[in-house]
C-alpha cells in the first residue's frame, strides 16, 4: 500500500491545494482531472489571509501571484457607507493585507506550476469508488481501476465522490447570477487598494484591484436576481446587459464596464443546500465545493478550498496510511476543523444573497433604511465574518507539520 499515491479527484483550487499540501508533507499524490484542458477562464477572484498562509506553506510563490491587497467596504449605490471590513491588525501586517484580488487564471497557474510534473493526469474521469477497508479502489469512466490509501473528492459542486459517500443532496439554486469583467484602462479616481461593494435596491455592483504580469487592473462584478432557465447571452449581449446594470451605480462603475469589452464571464450561483455535518468516511474525504459550495457573497469559496488542503495534509502529517483507523481518525479531525466554519460562511453568503436580491419590493425600502442607519451590516460583514476568518490563522498553527 505504501507505494500507492493518494488520489485526488479534480484539479480546481481544492484539488491542486490538497495535492501541494500533501506533497509538502512528504506524500505521493496523483490528481485526476476529467478535462484535457482545465485552464480556467474568469475574472477577479479574492482570497483572504488564511488562504495566503496555506499557499505559502505549500511552497507556492505567493509574491509572484500578483496579489493586490485591498480594504473592503460596503455602501448603498447612492453613496451611503454601510460597513468597513475590520481585520486583525497583526495579521494585516504579517501578510501585507487581509483580502487580496487576483485573476482566476493566475491562481490556477501559480498552483499548477508549484506541482511536480506529472502529478496531474488530465482527460481522466473518475466514476466511482469502493472503500475496501485497507485501501480504496478508484474506478475510472473507461472501467479501469487504481488503488489508493486515501481518496479526496475535490471534484466541485457536481461531485461524483460526495454522493458515493453521503447520498444525493439537491443543488440549491440561489436564482442569482454574477457577471464579471475586468480592465487595465482604469478610470480616474478608482482606488487601487479598495474593494468597493455597493448595493442598489436589487443589484450588487462592486470592483476591486488585481495585478497581472506586474500591471494593475480592476475587476468588477454585478450580482442580480436571475431565472436559471434563461438562455445564456452572447459576449456582446452580456456586455450590453452589464452596461444597463451599471446605470444603477456611480460613473466610475459605468466607465469600468465600458472599458471591459471581451472580458465578460457569467456564473450561475448555487450551492448544495442542507450542509453535510460530516465530510469524511473511512479512507475517503471531500474538499472544496464538493464539501461546501458557496455563493460569491462569501468571496471565500476558493479560499476555503485551499485551506481544506492545508488541513487535510496537517491532519495526516504523522499518520501511517496503512493504519485504517488512524487514517479515519485523522480525517475526522480534519472534519472537526473545517465543517462548522465553512458551514457558517456558506449559510451567511446564501442569506446575504437572499436579503439583497430576493426581498420583496415592499420590504426593500425598509431593508435599505435599516442597512443605512443601523450597525447590522457592520456587525455581520464588517466584524463577525472577518473575525471568524481571522481566527483560522491561529487554528492553522505553525504549518502543515505544526498543528495548533
Ligand atoms: C461568480 C463567482 C465568483 C467567485 N468569487 C470567489 C472569490 O472572490 N473568492 C473565492 O475564494 N471564491 C470565489 N468563488 C468560489 C470559487 O470559484 C469556488 O469555490 C472554487 O472554484 C471551488 O474550487 P474546487 O476545486 O472545489 O472546485 P472546482 O473549481 O469546480 O474544480 C473541480 C474540478 O474537478 C473536476 N472534476 C469534476 N468531476 C470530476 C470527475 N468525476 N473526475 C475527474 N475530474 C472531475 C472538474 O473538471 C474541475 O476541474 C466564486 C465563485 C463564483 C461562481
What is the per-residue pLDDT for 239? Answer: 98
Best CA proximity match to 181, nearest among 250, 67, 258, 68: 258
What is the per-residue pLDDT for 40? Answer: 67
Length in residues, the chain: 404
In the DSSP assignment, the letter for residue 126 is E
The arithmetic mean of pLDDT across residues 297-304, rounded, is 94
Which residues have C-beta within 8 Å of that of residue 133, sequence separation ≥ 6? 282, 324
In the DSSP assignment, the letter for residue 359 is S
- C-alpha 10 – ligand 1 centre gap (Å): 9
The arithmetic mean of pLDDT across residues 292-310, rounded, is 95
Q: Could you tell me the three cell numbers for 53?
A: 498562509
Dist CA 280 CA 225 (whole Å): 34
| C-beta of 301 in contact with ligand 1 (< 6 A) | yes
> With contact defined as beta carbons under 8 Å apart, do 129 and 136 qualify?
yes
Give all strands (DSSP E) within 226-272, no chain letters.
265-271
Q: What angle do CA 108, 158, 20 make, to 5 degrees?
A: 35
First and final CA of the chain: distance in angstroms?
A: 30
The arithmetic mean of pLDDT across residues 172-196, rounded, is 97
Q: Could you tell me the three cell numbers for 380?
A: 455581520
Q: Could you tell me the three cell numbers for 392?
A: 483560522
Task: Pick the atom of ligand 1 nearest to 104's CA.
Answer: 17
Helix (H) or strand (E) holding 253: helix 251-258
- C-alpha 13 – ligand 1 centre gap (Å): 7
What is the per-residue pLDDT for 179? Answer: 97
What is the per-residue pLDDT for 38? Answer: 72
**To test ligand 1's pocket by mutation, which of 45, 172, 182 has the most ligand atoms within 8 angstroms of CB?**
45
- C-alpha 293 – ligand 1 centre gap (Å): 8
| C-beta of 121 in contact with ligand 1 (< 6 A) | no
- C-alpha 32 – ligand 1 centre gap (Å): 15
Q: Does the pLDDT of residue 2 top 90, yes or no?
A: no
Sort residue 218 into left (φ over 0), alpha (ψ -120 to 50) or beta: beta
Q: Could you tell me the three cell numbers for 155?
A: 471534484
When pLDDT is cut at 50, 70 and 90, the band that residue 404 belongs to is confident
| Mean pLDDT score of the chain | 96
Helix (H) or strand (E) holding 91: helix 89-95
The correct answer on CATH 3.20.20.70 for the domain covering 6-172+272-395 is no
Neighbours of 327 (CB within 10 A): 24
Between strands 44-48 and 194-199, the pairing is unpaired
Task: Pick the atom of ligand 1 nearest to 178's CA.
Answer: 1
pLDDT digits 0-9 by tens, 126-165: 999 999 999 999 999 999 999 999 999 999 999 999 999 9
What is the per-residue pLDDT for 1? Answer: 43
Q: Does the pLDDT of residue 269 top 60, yes or no?
A: yes
When pLDDT is cut at 50, 70 and 90, the band that residue 298 belongs to is confident
pLDDT digits 0-9 by tens, 6-27: 999 999 999 999 999 999 999 9
Q: Could you tell me the three cell numbers for 66?
A: 500578483
| C-beta of 178 in contact with ligand 1 (< 6 A) | yes
Q: Tell the residue nearest (CA) to atom 27 of ligand 1.
A: 156
When pLDDT is cut at 50, 70 and 90, the band that residue 263 belongs to is very high
**Cell 512528504 appears where?**
26
Give all strands (DSSP E) within 24-115, no chain letters.
29-32, 44-48, 68-69, 71-76, 81-84, 99-103
Q: Does the pLDDT of residue 403 top 80, yes or no?
A: no
> With contact defined as beta carbons under 8 Å apart, do 220 and 253 qualify?
yes
Phi, psi of 278 (to 5 degrees): -145, 140
pLDDT digits 0-9 by tens, 73-106: 999 999 999 999 999 999 999 999 999 999 999 9
Q: Could you tell me the three cell numbers for 260?
A: 471591459
- C-alpha 158 – ligand 1 centre gap (Å): 10
Dihedral sign for Cα atoms in the order 312, 315, 317, 319:
negative
| C-beta of 369 in contact with ligand 1 (< 6 A) | no
Q: Tell the residue nearest (CA) to atom 53 of ligand 1.
A: 267
When pLDDT is cut at 50, 70 and 90, the band that residue 382 belongs to is very high
The arithmetic mean of pLDDT across residues 371-379, rounded, is 97
What is the per-residue pLDDT for 37? Answer: 84
Instruction: Give 153's strand partners.
Output: 9, 286
| Domain residue limits, the chain | 6-172+272-395
Q: Does the pLDDT of residue 71 top 70, yes or no?
A: yes
Dist CA 367 CA 201 (whole Å): 9
Amino acid at each position: 500500500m505504501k507505494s500507492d499515491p493518494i488520489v485526488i479527484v479534480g484539479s480546481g483550487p481544492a484539488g491542486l491545494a490538497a495535492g501541494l499540501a500533501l506533497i509538502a508533507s512528504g506524500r505521493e499524490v496523483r490528481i485526476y482531472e476529467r478535462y484535457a484542458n482545465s485552464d480556467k477562464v474568469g475574472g477577479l477572484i479574492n482570497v483572504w489571509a488564511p488562504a495566503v498562509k496555506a499557499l505559502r506553506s505549500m511552497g507556492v510563490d505567493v509574491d509572484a501571484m500578483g496579489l493586490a491587497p485591498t480594504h473592503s467596504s460596503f455602501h448603498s449605490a447612492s453613496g451611503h457607507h454601510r460597513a468597513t471590513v475590520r481585520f486583525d491588525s497583526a495579521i494585516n501586517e504579517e501578510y501585507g493585507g487581509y483580502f487580496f484580488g487576483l485573476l482566476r487564471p493566475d491562481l490556477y497557474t501559480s498552483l499548477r506550476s508549484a506541482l511536480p510534473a506529472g502529478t496531474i493526469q488530465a482527460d481522466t474521469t473518475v466514476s466511482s469508488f469502493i472503500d475496501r477497508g485497507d485501501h480504496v479502489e478508484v474506478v475510472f469512466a473507461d472501467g479501469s481501476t487504481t488503488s489508493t490509501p486515501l481518496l479526496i473528492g475535490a471534484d466541485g459542486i457536481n461531485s461524483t465522490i460526495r454522493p458515493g459517500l453521503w447520498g444525493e443532496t439537491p443543488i440549491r439554486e440561489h436564482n442569482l447570477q454574477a457577471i464579471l469583467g475586468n480592465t487595465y484602462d482604469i478610470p480616474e479616481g478608482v482606488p487601487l487598494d479598495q474593494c468597493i461593494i455597493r448595493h442598489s435596491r436589487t443589484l450588487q455592483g462592486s470592483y476591486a484591484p488585481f495585478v497581472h504580469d506586474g500591471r494593475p487592473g480592476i475587476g468588477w462584478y454585478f450580482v442580480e436576481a436571475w431565472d436559471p432557465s434563461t438562455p445564456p447571452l452572447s459576449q456582446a449581449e452580456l456586455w450590453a446587459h452589464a452596461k444597463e446594470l451599471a446605470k444603477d451605480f456611480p460613473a466610475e462603475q459605468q466607465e469600468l464596464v465600458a472599458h471591459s469589452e471581451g472580458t465578460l464571464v457569467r456564473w450561475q450561483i448555487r450551492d448544495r443546500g442542507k450542509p453535510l455535518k460530516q465530510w469524511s468516511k473511512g479512507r475517503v474525504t471531500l474538499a472544496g465545493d464538493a464539501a461546501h459550495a458557496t455563493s460569491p457573497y462569501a468571496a471565500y469559496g476558493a479560499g476555503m478550498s485551499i485551506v481544506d488542503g492545508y488541513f487535510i495534509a496537517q491532519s495526516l502529517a504523522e499518520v501511517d496510511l496503512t493504519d485504517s483507523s488512524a487514517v479515519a481518525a485523522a480525517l475526522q479531525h480534519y472534519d472537526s476543523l473545517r465543517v462548522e466554519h465553512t458551514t457558517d460562511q456558506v449559510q451567511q453568503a446564501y442569506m446575504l444573497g437572499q436579503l439583497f436580491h430576493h426581498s420583496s419590493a415592499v420590504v426593500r425600502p425598509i431593508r435599505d433604511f435599516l442597512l443605512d442607519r443601523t450597525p447590522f451590516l457592520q456587525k455581520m460583514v464588517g466584524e463577525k465574518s472577518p473575525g471568524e476568518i481571522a481566527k483560522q490563522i491561529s487554528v492553522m498553527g505553525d504549518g502543515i507539520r505544526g498543528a495548533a
